[in-house]
Structure 1
Amino acid sequence: MDVLISGYRLLPHVFATFSVIYLIGYFVVFRNWSPKCRLDASSCFISLFHGTPAVFLAVAAILNQPVRGFASPNTDFQNLVLDFSIGYFTVDLLHYLIFIPGDYLFIAHHLATLFVFVTCRYLVAHGAFSILVLLVLAEVTSACQNVWTLARLRKAELSVAAKIHKNLAPPFYVLYTIMRGFIGPVFFYKMSTFYLSGKASNVIPIWVSVSWVIVVGGAILVSIMWISNLWLELFREENGEKKDR
């Protein structure tokens, strides 16, 4: 109960912090950008303050866990990391719901992610090890992705943005492919095999385990499709440049 109370006390502060960062991005950092780019850039801005810190926090929380396993009880440190991410995803979800309600894919992604984090943190209080490993694999590319996205938003207007976008794309795509296309699926296989076997059912209800497997599997599949399309786009652009020479 004390852990739940501490979480409910922490979440409002995390939510408020990311809200303030979003407003700083919108009204200060990107105030001269076009309205649409300004909104997207502000979303990237808060992501920059979440992604890399979340990776370091999650790694530290995993390494400091006395017993690591798919059904291990959450530590207080792991719960703190989950609250940190819940606060971020809540703010970014509101961004999409208010300003870009037609982006159903991102809204669904954020809702699914929040479902996994909230059930792990507040419903079952077990399984944070697997969730935080997935968080690390997902967010380790965050810094590259956000810089690449910001550059993409302005590449038509600024030559330096176009250059950053072009030069950053290949290493970002490679890193993303390794994390989401290879390491992620391998870890997902081990995780889903364990949960679907029912070995965690004494601490994590089977319906929660199955829902985690479905959500994570769907997210990995969408990520693979997304990066595949980006690779195809990059190859088409390079072929087009070669033909123009």
Structure 2
Amino acid sequence: MLLYAGRTAYVCWRHLAEAVREGRNQYLKAFGIPSEELFSAIYRSEDERLQFMQGLQDVWRLEGATVLAAFDLSPFPLICDLGGGSGALAKACVSLYPGCRAIVFDIPGVVQIAKRRFSASEDERISFHEGDFFKDALPEADLYILARVLHDWTDAKCCHLLQRVYRACRTGGGILVIESLLDTDGRGPLTTLLYSLNMLVQTEGRERTPAEYRALLGPAGFRDVRCRRTGGTYDAVLARK
């Protein structure tokens, strides 16, 4: 993750003052890439894409089990990890909940690298599905995981995605949002505030408070929204259909 940050994130941070003044990411200045193309800088070559996927692989190797144990997910036999990358979180999920199966949903380029380079594709309990979660049909599942996804996008795009997830979700199922939660007043924790600045220089989104995630999930149709802090970098929000 540090290697990825050095070649992509820190290049954008050189333009932090401009990001604050303009209120938008700095891909155009940093890479000559339009600001709307969020992952074009991260995925600008297969090597950069692999580096990013390896970074997330290591994040979930360290933190996946903790955040997946924040709630009992055993009642959900089929789990779909949207934007699941290498399948590291899916692998942690089937290890923690042996009775479940997992689908990793991501764009074709990411899925192809995952199948070639990462071990999750060898686990018969994990399958991979190619697509764009904003446009393409989502696989039917009992639980959808959105890990480090919603913080990339505007409220409007988050609402659109959550509505699509709600429609695809089986009755009685749910959604697990994994993000670093801001305090109620939005003034901490310090690490989460720094992540939110990183979202400013790199994405359209930001980190959010529990109340702000409830405000996104409720209008999409989800109910019984519960938030749990894990004591680690990432926290969990579970909501039901």
TM-score range, shorter chain: under 0.3
State the TM-score, normalizing by the size of structure 1.
0.27
State the TM-score, normalizing by the size of structure 2.
0.27
Bigger share in helix? 1
